[in-house]
Amino acid sequence: MTAEDLYRIAFLEDPQLSPDGTKVAYVVKSIDESRQYRSHLFVQGIEQDAPVQWTYGSVLDTALRWSPDGRSLAFVSNRSGQPQIWLFSAEGGEPRQLTTCRHGARQPVWSPDGTRILFSTRLSVDERADEEAPPSTDREASASAGDDRRVKRPIVIDRLKYKSDESGFFDGKYRHLAVLDLITGEVRQITEGPYDHDGGAWSPDGTMIAFTANRTDDPDRTLIADVYVVSIRTDEWRRLTNGTGVFSVPSWSPDGSRIACIGHEKEYAGATLKRIWTIDLVSGGMTCVTRDWDVHVGDVVIGDMRSDHADRPVLWTPDGTGVYFLASDRGSTGVYHAGLDGSVSSVAGGERHVYAVTMDRERKTAVLAASDPLNPGDLYRLSLTTGVERRLTRINQALLDEIVLSRPEPLAFEAEDGWQIHGWIMKPVGWREGETYPLILEIHGGPHMMYGYTFFHEMQMLASRGYAVLFTNPRGSHGYGQRFVDACRGDYGGKDYRDLMNAVDYAVKTFAFIDESRMGVTGGSYGGFMTNWIVGQTNRFRAAVTQRSISNWLSFYGVSDIGYFFAADEIGANLYDNPDKLWQHSPLRHAAQVETPLLILHGERDYRCPIEQAEQFYAALKHQDKAPVRLVRFPDANHELSRSGDPVLRVERLRLIADWFDQYVKAGAEERRNEYAKG
The residues near 94 (Cβ < 8 Å, ≥ 6 apart) are: none
Would you mind telling me the total number of residues written for the chain in this entry?
A: 679
Q: Which of 176, 422, 602, 639 is catalytic?
A: 639
With b for 16 or more beta-carbon neighbours within 10 A and e for fewer, the 406-432 pattern comes to: bebeebebebeeebebbbbbbbbbeee
Q: CA 99 to CA 130: how far, in whole Å?
A: 9
The count of C-alpha atoms lying within 13 angstroms of the C-alpha of 60, restricted to the half-sphere facing its C-beta, is 11
Q: CA 240 to CA 490: how far, in whole Å?
A: 33
525 is catalytic: yes
Question: What are 53's strand-pairing partners?
Answer: 42
Largest CA distance in the chain: 83
Closest CA to 489 of 228, 157, 267: 267
What CA–CA distances, in Å, run from 158 to 167, 216, 566? 18, 17, 21
Q: CA 55 to CA 71: how far, in whole Å?
A: 17
Q: Which of 517, 525, 551, 644 is catalytic?
A: 525
Q: CA 575 to CA 94: how far, in whole Å?
A: 57
The residues near 342 (Cβ < 8 Å, ≥ 6 apart) are: 289, 290, 291, 292, 293
What CA–CA distances, in Å, run from 679 to 232, 385, 542, 596? 75, 62, 15, 17
Helix (H) or strand (E) holding 501: helix 495-510
Q: 3-state SS of 8-38?
A: HCCEEEEEEECCCCCEEEEEEEEECCCCCEE
639 is catalytic: yes
Residue 193: count of CB within 10 angstroms of its CB: 11
Q: CA 536 to CA 427: how far, in whole Å?
A: 28
Contact 331, 451 (CB under 8 A): yes
Q: CA 582 to CA 578: how far, in whole Å?
A: 7
Active site residues: 525, 639
